[in-house]
Amino acid sequence: MSWLKKLFGTEPASSQTQSVESRSKITSPEKLLDFSSDEDLKAVRSDREKDNRIYLIKACSKLKATYQIRLLLFQAVSEGKILVLCVKRECLFSNDLRRLQKAYKENFDIEYAD
């Protein structure tokens, strides 16, 4: 994974996702980040946190708005940080993820690796 080393200078720790959940047919992106106080939030980890950025590295061809992404974005919005998704150029994004990106463009950034 030379592009990871190029981006961070070292190999980041692997992400440990506890749960992946996909929500389809959600009308507003705000509902994707709607975690009620009754829910037991599961722990998720980012690959790296540096300054005011939370990095999440995904090496996949298709990416959805998973529980991990939504919870890390919730954390970024709450703490005034930026969630940076690092993906390969070939990666395709689901409609839910695109809506999240548009709704939270100040807290959500995508970096492409070659």
70-91 confidence digits (pLDDT tens) = 989 988 988 999 999 999 999 9
> How many domains in the chain?
1
Helix and strand tally (H, E) in the chain? 3, 6
Q: List the domain range (segments joined by +) for residue 97.
A: 2-113
Measured between alpha carbons, how far is 96 from 98 in angstroms, rounded to an integer? 5
Find out whether 65 and 96 touch, Cβ atoms under 8 Å: yes
**Window from 1-10, 13-22, 25-34, 46-55 with minimum mean pLDDT:** 13-22
**pLDDT at residue 30 is higher than 80:** no
pTM of structure: 0.68
H/E element, 84:
strand 82-88
Mean pLDDT estimate for the chain: 76
Please report the pLDDT score of residue 31 as a whole number: 61
